[in-house]
Amino acid sequence: MVFHMKTTLNIDDTVMQRLREEAARRGTTMSQLVEAGLRRVLAGDPEEASPGRRLPALPRWRSGGARVDLADRDALYEVMEGR
């Protein structure tokens, strides 16, 4: 047996407009679209739930290696002073 509950949500106007457009584009109701989205979020699918939160990979550079052992204070000072 399936039960449905009516509820009231406060949704930003721009989000609501996009919801209407997406529901129309998919040929479904706004309620079905919201429920599908909530199911994804509650299922713990972070990739589908919040695509805007994924961060791009950090760039990588090859620096040519260390010029000095940072633990060697004297060697570090020599490099910094240009000796």
Q: Tell me whether residue 80 is in a domain.
A: no
Q: Is the pLDDT of residue 63 over 80?
A: no
Q: Tell me whether residue 25 is in a domain.
A: yes
Write down the pTM of the prediction.
0.50
Q: Tell me whether residue 65 is in a domain.
A: no
Q: Tell me whether residue 41 is in a domain.
A: yes
Domain span including residue 24: 8-53
DSSP the chain: ------------HHHHHHHHHHHHHHTS-HHHHHHHHHHHHHHT-HHHH-GGGPPPPPP-------SS-TT-HHHHHHHHHT-
Q: Tell me whether residue 2 is in a domain.
A: no
Per-residue pLDDT tens digits for 1-42: 778 888 898 999 999 999 999 999 999 999 999 999 999 888
Q: pLDDT class for 53, splitting at 50, 70, 90?
A: low
Q: What is the mean pLDDT of residues 71-77?
A: 88
Q: pLDDT class for 70, splitting at 50, 70, 90?
A: confident
Q: Tell me whether residue 64 is in a domain.
A: no
* Number of structural domains the chain divides into: 1
